[in-house]
A and B are shown apart, each in its own frame.
Chain A
Amino acid sequence: MKIVIIGASAAGISAAKTIKVSEPETEVVIISKEDSVHSRCMLHKFLGHQRDAKGISFIADDFFETAGITWLNNTTVISLDPDKKTVTTHDNQTISYDKLLIATGAAYFIPPIPGLRESKNVYGFRDLNDAKLLDRECQTAKNAVVIGAGLVGMDAAVALLERGLNVTVIEMTKDVMSLQLDHQAARAYQQLFEEAGAEFILEDKVVSVDVNDVGRGTTIHLASGKAVPADVIVIAAGVRPAFNFTQGSGIKTNHAILVGDDLKTNLKDIYAAGDVTGIAGIWPNAMKQGRVAAINMLGEKLLYEDRYALKNTVNFYGLTTLSLGNINPEPEENCEILIREDRHNYQKVVLKNGIVLGVIMQGDIGGTGFWQYLIKNKIDISGKNKDVFSLSFADFYDLDQQTGEYKYAV
């Protein structure tokens, strides 16, 4: 059997690994548009010059050779023929498959703001290629503007600060990382970034960009009337699943490739995993989806059930935060909000009828992994009769006598 995987990031690599571990004789071909395998979560380490391209890889140097996987790099898939069971690449290769996994991820999005898309010095921060282009700009640029203060924007900002640029971050909402944090937790990071030299313009919007005669954006105009000078612009305003090449193939999409719980698409022998499915834009879930899709492609039956995606960790300047679930409930949701803080910690638990809906743990996040289990499984903790902040796995402790593994007693 020949399995073709498009995409060599979390989902694609995790699928390839799973296939080769369970059925080494299966032929696996990975097609990727880049010539390296790297973790996009470490791009800021590359741009900040803390690691080189090899240092942000998440696989062993000899991964493809050892596993016996064919890797077609620098290769972009441009079309898919589900009847002939082939894909066609930009350089006119036709590659046949028995089973196909689409793990093409997502691509950044440049909002339609006058001057922004036209500017040659506007970059996303998604792939190593983006980071390399930014790296080149950093050699001459003085003023960097980051549009969007989500996790990706903050990653870009931390690297640009590391490189000694003047960094201005522009954000529409009133806080940085507003999907992961509340006002207080966000302020703590904002202060750390400001101490490192960053400037933040919050609750403001880019309305236009002045483009000079060589096509570079020079000044960013905001709704408030402010104007910010820019030598280099990073756009971090979100991503969109990337599946252009499937046009005309009859695959079902809705801003993402639609899959069932077995991660199969509506087309025969075609599966999808990772960001392209729109299920969850986060590394651990993409890895798990790659694994589940691989097992299903091999003919076993396994369902992807871990759809819980409202989770993240943040670590900037040594301040760590765990964020899970609904952390900024609206007043009409009638949630109970508990807060505990000291000099080093800010902790918030959102509860409703004994069920934990969300947590923020900022400061010491050691041993906080159990919270995700409680939230995604909607465990009722009202019977625990105990300070919620002192909960741990010990309150749900059970052991499987056969394997010695833990399980939850709930």
Chain B
Amino acid sequence: MKRIIIDREKCDGCLNCNIACISAHEEGSNFYTVNLQSPDAETRNFIKFDVGKGYLPIFCRHCDEPECVLSCMSGALEKDPVSGHVQYDENKCAACYMCVMNCPFGVLKPDKKNRTKVIKCDFCDDKPDGPSCVKACPKQAIVVKEVNL
């Protein structure tokens, strides 16, 4: 499957990946027009800073054995057998947030506006040109690679 591979030493914390993610989920917007103050402006990836280690990108791994899928009681989260990506169906989700509790890496979060859905990486719907965060990274700290499971 395709996975966003992280080279944390290359990351310099510019947060272009955050903005690209928000824009990719705001219909019709681009890097310059995206409304970062909208209540819907939610990034699915995070860059943390540590004094010793520097910038630490936290991106959904679409894990081989996804804890979020195992915790899902509504069937909203499923690992796609073909792409290997963990897909989320907002209409099935009942917002119980056991997936938020079960993600060992703290990637998942409830939506800020209504707390009725989960904010989760969708791999930009497997578009042929790849996820928007990867395209937006000026340092190639995140790149898409095929990994064998």
Contacts and interface: CB of A to CB of B under 8 A. Distances in A.
A, B: real partners: yes
Contacts of A21: 81
Chain B CB count within 10 A is highest, among A57, A394, A399, for A394
Contacts, number: 139
A205 interface: no
Contacts of B81: 21
B109 A312 contact: no
A75 to B, nearest CB: 23
Interface stretch (A101-109, A249-257, A261-269, A281-289): A281-289
Contact of A284 (B50, B67, B115): B67
A308 to B, nearest CB: 11
B64 interface: yes
A287 B66 CA distance: 12
Interface stretch (A119-127, A239-247, A272-280, A362-370): A362-370
Given A368-B106, A405-B64, A288 B70 contact: yes
Given A366-B110, A370-B105, A404-B147, A284 B70 contact: yes
A190 B46 CA distance: 34
A368 B3 CA distance: 23
A56 B76 CA distance: 11
Contacts of B121: none
Contacts of A282: 98
Nearest to A13: B75
Interface in A58-113: 58-60
A406 B101 contact: no
A315 interface: yes
B103 interface: yes
B94 interface: yes
A42 B106 contact: no
Interface in A202-236: none
A403 B75 contact: no
Nearest to B76: A58
A42 B67 CA distance: 20
A365 B103 CA distance: 12
A366 B112 CA distance: 9
A143 interface: no
Interface residues of B, number: 47
B102 A322 contact: no
Contact of B102 (A369, A393, A405): A369
B94 A393 contact: no
A291 interface: yes
A163 interface: no
B115 A318 contact: yes
B75 A405 contact: no
Given A369-B101, A370-B105, A59 B75 contact: yes
A325 to B, nearest CB: 12
Contact of A287 (B58, B70, B74): B70
Interface in A281-316: 282-284, 287-288, 291, 311-313, 315
B10 interface: no
B50 A395 contact: yes
Interface in B7-27: 8
A122 to B, nearest CB: 26
A403 B73 contact: no
Interface string A358-392: 00000001111110110000000000000000001
Contacts of B58: 392-394, 397
A385 to B, nearest CB: 10
Given A60-B75, A320-B110, A320-B115, A372 B104 contact: yes
A58 B74 contact: yes
B120 to A, nearest CB: 11
A322 B71 contact: no
A394 B50 contact: yes
B74 A42 contact: yes
A308 B92 CA distance: 27
B61 A404 contact: yes
Contact of B104 (A56, A60, A373): A373
A399 B72 CA distance: 25
Contact of B94 (A41, A322, A403): A41
Nearest to B102: A284
Given A57-B75, A287-B70, A318-B115, A365 B100 contact: yes
B136 interface: no
Given A287-B71, A313-B101, 20 more contacts: A10-B73, A58-B73, A58-B75, A58-B92, A59-B75, A283-B71, A284-B67, A284-B102, A311-B101, A315-B110, A366-B112, A369-B104, A373-B104, A392-B106, A395-B50, A397-B53, A402-B147, A403-B64, A404-B145, A406-B104
30 contacts: A39-B75, A39-B94, A42-B94, A56-B74, A58-B72, A58-B92, A282-B98, A283-B98, A284-B67, A291-B70, A313-B101, A315-B96, A315-B97, A320-B97, A365-B97, A366-B100, A366-B110, A368-B100, A369-B100, A369-B101, A369-B102, A392-B106, A393-B106, A394-B49, A397-B53, A397-B58, A402-B147, A404-B5, A404-B6, A404-B145
